[in-house]
Chains A and B, each alone.
Chain A
């Protein structure tokens, strides 16, 4: 049976979900086919300007992942390819795909763009949402991966009329192939991950909002307008070319809308609108932004804080009204929005621009893919999954990740993608490593003696050659000391140029290579690999940038550009002369994991890791497993919690690779990734040594006891939601129930939103109504945050007669024993409500024990006491400390299915380390010269990673024995920033590859010296 399993996974969809799943699997020993229907990977995220709530530049954080995916030896990119069929069974699928013709030879195109310049046909650019033109031959966006042109056959003059042919004429590489045909391929894969993303709602049909008006734009168009590589280079402007002074954002366009049968909430629009308003105001603080909304759903980590800053500091206006239309003045074209004020009066307000916050919808192609894959869909057209299995479809071996499964933001998408990778990995674990490819290299040559430098100067078509006199730079390079050969290349990065570089190294016996072309941030690894293939240590290579940093920015001054290029080459040569070979250190590692916390997240993390065939030690401080879920009696979908918890507990207890230690606490941790050591203490104070390679922190959260809020503790009939959960399973007798949301959150003390309480309240209100429809239930809320598919619960509760009353944080409800008084924000009435049971929705808070755990693992907490991941967007379950991961409510409050997805994600990330045979330290780290070290400890203090420690050594000098402190670096922890080198007073510490002499050589060669001085 095992021999039938294919150790490869087909990932369908090249957005951030597909890329993340692919990288995790490729790093865990599986072959991956990443299939994308468009010409480039990157998906919707590539179109975004910034991401909330950190305003990170989307392209900057995305690009490295795209490059990594394209370079990975285990990932085969199949762009511009469509799935035709998925046959077979779990472990052994056959995926048939069609590779569409680009009319461009992928092996020859270098992405120089000469063809684009000469293409006479302009068409509307989909990447810029139709706001700018592109050519019939195009690259989707500047950082497109792969960087290969595509001809759009409908618009190409040659392909449609047989005339033109300009691109073929200008392409110096002969890459254009008008006769190219579609190709059919058949792939073997053990599992399939569907990550086809979503389709943004098209507002065309909503005529009342005037989507055809040039200044009524969709939120995606607005992203492009804000973006520096967008249609106006990031200068926000209206269709008249003027700067907008007033911008309106209309929320829930294509979501929370029964009429359009988009009953769900798209989850992301509130936050992206807040972000867009903030960025617009950063472009010009004079711009006034107003967001028309029903509720602002700022439920994620850091969202509420961002929202409050937008409101209070950035003065973004939030208007609680859903406008029914946008009016346009037929003469002047101005836009006007009529809306209802809080006092019920109608206001009219003019705006220069209106942004429609369009929702996330199921795409036609996603639905078609689901049909081909034979997986079920929800009513809204998303892939159907269950709470306990948020990545699994109804067809075994086929998993779902990202927005194809339902609206979600980037971190949730990334988590789910990693989670799907864990699931696929577990399924295929007997075949792990069977299809893995490794790059093989010849032995390295010795490089002692005089440096012999080879210099290659790139023309980059006309990109460099058009402004810098390349032949002049080449002959100058030939005059420099130690340069054995200098040459030019039309495209230094092309495949054939790589071959020539290898030949050049052999022919001239080179021991150093300098290429002057574009940025090392993207291209260094390519050249390093070529050098390595020619037997040269990759650290003897240097790439200097004469394109971005020279030819492109001095286009009017070719002479100065040429002089500068010479300087850059001279500086590079003097640096490359001092470079030394470097090696990554192989570090041994264990292959087991510690999971801290036995709640739903910890249980799932442990199970996923064990299913991937690695040993797990699960440590829980309570005597019982189950965590928070033991107090919750029903899930959001109405099923009893025991339905999912009991089988899970059973599986974990029975799993041969999982050891459970309940009633135990971790009290000490030492070591680093691959080799952690710790001590665990049980209730009887017995201690035990444990060792583990990686750790997953799943320590959960707890419900706040809301003492001091809304009279809690004063009367016995004021309880919390979790107390209500228990009552609902017993004898529940109340007739008049009032629930109060945000009891202890979204205030000064706890500024965050606890995310789950609105959904919990609605769920419990429905449970009450189901038991006895005559019970009167009121929910007093600030903003109902029933995001995603759970919006339907909210609609159902309203239909069932649950009354929702909005209160404001400036006028809190008054709670008595049998009565609640509240000012209704929306109607403006003071209400008195009879109550025999008052239920407070208290937030989830971080357990105090986090403060002990965080320093043990050297990981940070956020200002609310939850663990803080390394990157809120793209690395939601990783810490900066390698080998330590987090998941579930330890990171922030979240729902059961979200916790499970994150748990699987943490497991997947852990498996990328556990599946390695050995660990590699980075080569660009610091080293100590013990002779020079005086043991002052400055480096130890300055190191942000705790990689440096002082140890006492016994020395003998001039016949005397004495003790001294010497600094030592743990290569597994050093990340290579070089701060220690700067702090060292004696020069004992130096950063490899950025050594003092290497940097000083560059500094010196910034300048030229006249003959006499020399």
Chain B
């Protein structure tokens, strides 16, 4: 590993835009709070009713505005409050990931994870894991100058 990257990874806090569905992953985030599962302060959560609301437009504008990564979360497959919204999310996610390469971004900058309302600890775990991965990658090449 290049030394500068490690240097960055210690001090630098990435900016990650996170989409949570109201019924599971947002509740999971609440659960993480209730359980006091400590996490890096990298995530900024945007609540939607269902993960299937998340549009590629939202994801790509997040990157253009300066996101180092985008994390979409929803209910476990089969548990979506709207029957099968998250299956649609999964399809869109795969499509968006394939687009990332075109933009010159690493695949890992877009992530998808299913977190149930009861998985507060998992929520924290996911935040830690994704943050660490993005730290390793360093700031996004699309991040405009002067943006924090």
Contact = CB atoms under 8 A, between A and B. Distances in A.
B104 to A, nearest CB: 19
B111 to A, nearest CB: 16
A1003 B144 contact: no
Interface in B52-108: 52-55, 57-58, 61-62, 65-67, 81-85, 88, 92
Contact of B58 (A142, A568, A999, A1013): A999
Contacts of A924: 49
A458 to B, nearest CB: 14
A283 to B, nearest CB: 11
Interface in A938-957: 942, 944-945
Contacts of B32: 548, 553
B48 to A, nearest CB: 6
Contacts of A689: none
Nearest to A565: B41
A563 B15 CA distance: 12
B55 A982 contact: yes
Interface string B25-57: 011011111111111010011111110111101
Contacts of B47: 520
Contacts of A994: 48-49, 53
A564 B41 contact: yes
A553 B55 contact: no
Interface residues of B, number: 54
B4 interface: no
A991 interface: yes
B13, B33, B116: residue with the most chain A Cβ atoms closer than 10 Å: B33
A977 B144 contact: no
A977 B82 contact: yes
Contact of A233 (B33, B35, B55): B35
Interface in A530-559: 545, 547-550, 552-557
Interface string B113-148: 000111011001000000000000000000011111
Nearest to B144: A1013
Interface string A964-997: 0000000000011111011100000001001010
Contact of B65 (A548, A979, A1006): A1006
B82 A944 contact: yes
B65 A57 contact: no
Given A60-B27, A991-B53, A547 B33 contact: yes
A560 B61 CA distance: 25
Contacts of B117: 57, 60
B30 A521 contact: yes
A434 interface: no
B95 to A, nearest CB: 11
Contact of A553 (B26, B37, B58, B147): B37
A479 interface: no
Contacts of A975: 82
Nearest to A983: B88
Contacts of B110: none
A59, A557, A979: residue with the most chain B Cβ atoms closer than 10 Å: A979
Contact of A1002 (B31, B46, B50, B66): B46
A557 B148 contact: no
A946 to B, nearest CB: 11
30 contacts: A60-B117, A228-B118, A519-B26, A545-B33, A548-B29, A549-B29, A549-B33, A550-B41, A552-B36, A554-B38, A557-B41, A561-B41, A945-B83, A976-B49, A977-B52, A977-B53, A978-B52, A979-B82, A979-B85, A982-B52, A982-B54, A983-B88, A999-B58, A1002-B46, A1003-B65, A1006-B46, A1006-B67, A1007-B148, A1010-B148, A1013-B146
Q: Which 6 A-B pairs have the closest CB atoms?
A: A548-B33, A978-B53, A57-B118, A977-B82, A1013-B146, A979-B52
Given A1003-B62, A1003-B65, A1006-B17, 14 more contacts: A60-B116, A521-B26, A548-B33, A564-B44, A977-B85, A978-B52, A979-B53, A991-B49, A996-B55, A999-B53, A999-B58, A1006-B65, A1007-B67, A1008-B147
